[in-house]
A = this chain, B = another copy of it.
Amino acid sequence: RTGDSQQDKKVDAVKDALFHLLGEVTIRKPSFLDALFFPQDDESRIVEYLNLAHKTIDVCVFTISNDYLAWALYDLHKKGVKVRIITDDECSTNRGSDIQDLADAGIPCRLDSDPNAHMHNKFAIIDGHILVNGSFNWTQQAVEKNQENLSIIDSEELCQKYTKEYEKLWAKFEHE
């Protein structure tokens, strides 16, 4: 019996060591790690990921003139998801820009009005843990013609870095 209990302790020690090792050298496998490439993919693939949102979507894109993506954001806003948008001013006054419509619908939008620099990012953070990021602007041209990419990464660690930058830009563009 004494031998058994000593062996049990050894078993527990092995278990503890392995769980410790697991914490040190691994992260949880992301529920997904995907890449979209345009023009072969289309906006519906992006909307699938946006629709995973339960709580928040923080969008930070140079321009939004793709109606399909704008409608997706509008629908999520109506469902109670807290949508925020940062975009670049020059593009928001372009023909076809959906920013004014989205702002009128009650979605908080902030604009970069610096004429000498562009808010050139094209990323979105979904529920604080899914990053959508790449070269893809939220336009029709980007879908139909250009070679573009988006990587979709489920990582709280990476999203924390992007959320920090998002909050910085959100504060910066408050009065612009």
A120: interface (CB < 8 Å): yes
A79-119 at interface with B (beta carbon < 8 Å): 112, 116-119
Establish whether residues B147 and A158, one from each chain, have CB atoms under 8 Å apart when the complex forms.
Answer: no
Chain A contact surface mostly: mixed
Partner of A7, one of B4, B18, B29: B4
Establish whether residues B147 and A119, one from each chain, have CB atoms under 8 Å apart when the complex forms.
Answer: yes
Residue numbers in B under 8 Å from A146 (CB-CB): 117-120
How many copies of the chain does the oligomer comprise? Answer: 2
A52: interface (CB < 8 Å): no
A30: min CB distance to chain B, Å: 8
Bitwise, A151-165 to B at CB < 8 A (1) or not (0) is 101010110011001
Establish whether residues B158 and A151, one from each chain, have CB atoms under 8 Å apart when the complex forms.
Answer: yes
CA of A166 to CA of B111 in the docked complex: distance in angstroms? 34
Establish whether residues B147 and A118, one from each chain, have CB atoms under 8 Å apart when the complex forms.
Answer: yes
| The 6 nearest A-B residue pairs measured at CB | A26-B26, A117-B145, A7-B7, A35-B161, A120-B146, A18-B18
